Amino acid sequence: MPELPEVETTRRGLEPWVTGRTLKATRTYQRSLRWPIQAPESLNGATINGLYRRGKYLLFDLDLGIGNSGTLIVHLGMSGSLRVLPLDTPRLKHDHFDLHVDGPRIAGGSDQGSLIRLNDPRRFGCVLYQSGADAEVHPLLAHLGVEPLGNEFSGEYLFQRSRHRKLAVKNFIMDGKIVVGVGNIYAAESLFLAGIRPIVPAGKVSRQAYADLSDRIQSVLSNAIRQGGTTLRDFVGSDGKPGYFQQSLYVYGREGQPCRVCMTRLKGITIGARSSVYCPNCQRRSGFQPPKLDVAG
């Protein structure tokens, strides 16, 4: 479930509960996620300097003392969520991992701090550890593409990286080695808003179309973050509340329904083993774009 907006929503919710706090202990209930959970005993007592995000990865920056540092790397996979809970909260099904942090209690909690608890029904997420000051040397992070909301991302960047590429433009923008954080929902939405058909080869999309697409990717992600992300089934923020961006979706999950702009019946196709929905009328071009309604920015 979680794409960039959901991970960022989680990060923002968690940040005040972890920054500057002591990691008193970790607890692993179900070790076998995508990879076995890595949380060495030596992390107990570390100071959490900050909580960062790289793509869909959450990075707990740890100070282990005597000049040692490290990073706990958490990915939420398809169905994961991290919540802040009172220390003595009973464990529910699919609760796999806890961070026990000190600090002022939350409502109903004890004085001993709080719990950051990972729940992940499908167990596609992960909890990994990278020692040292630079988490980006970790193999999972080392080759990631640019941040879509960062300065290196632009239409020109997409245009240059896509030359001679034959895969569908939808798969291209979902490729984490190109740009991180854009998953199946936001890829579909961005392409709709840019008027680009998802199946066209990435290498045939024009410079102008990529300029438009990069703007749409940024606005869709920003708007979704503002709405607390998209909740289809599992996702809840760190406060346990769902996101609301699903109300703003134009095409994702709307196959067969009328386009919200032109009322044309939305079409569903499979691209790269992922379901895709688009409007055959609004999404025509691989190059020049005819006049289009100014839908949601």
Partner DNA sequence: ATGCTAACCTGCGCGC
Partner DNA sequence: TGCGCGCAGGTTAGCA
| Residue 274 falls in the annotated catalytic set | yes
Contact 280, 217 (CB under 8 A): no
Rounded least distance, CB 234 to DNA, Å: 5
The full length of the chain comes to 297
Rounded least distance, CB 178 to DNA, Å: 10
| Residue 198 falls in the annotated catalytic set | no
Would you say 103 or 272 has its CB closer to DNA? 272
Residues 155, 3, 267, 278, Cα dihedral to 10°: -20
Would you say 69 or 231 has its CB closer to DNA? 231
Q: Which of 123, 254, 267, 274 is catalytic?
A: 274
Tell me, rounded to whole angstroms, the distance of Cα 160 from its chain centroid. 24
| Residue 177 falls in the annotated catalytic set | no
Would you say 235 or 250 has its CB closer to DNA? 235
Contact 28, 37 (CB under 8 A): yes
Rounded least distance, CB 52 to DNA, Å: 15
Would you say 28 or 44 has its CB closer to DNA? 28
Rounded least distance, CB 192 to DNA, Å: 15
Contact 227, 245 (CB under 8 A): yes
Q: Which of 3, 6, 8, 189 is catalytic?
A: 3
**Both tokens assigned to 47:** 């100071």
| Residue 241 falls in the annotated catalytic set | no
Residues lying near DNA in the complex (CB under 7 A) = 1-3, 6, 32, 34, 55-56, 75, 77-79, 93-94, 121-124, 140, 164-168, 171, 174, 176, 183-185, 203, 229-235, 243, 272-275
Q: Which of 56, 161, 260, 285 is catalytic?
A: 56
Catalytic residue set: 2-3, 56, 274
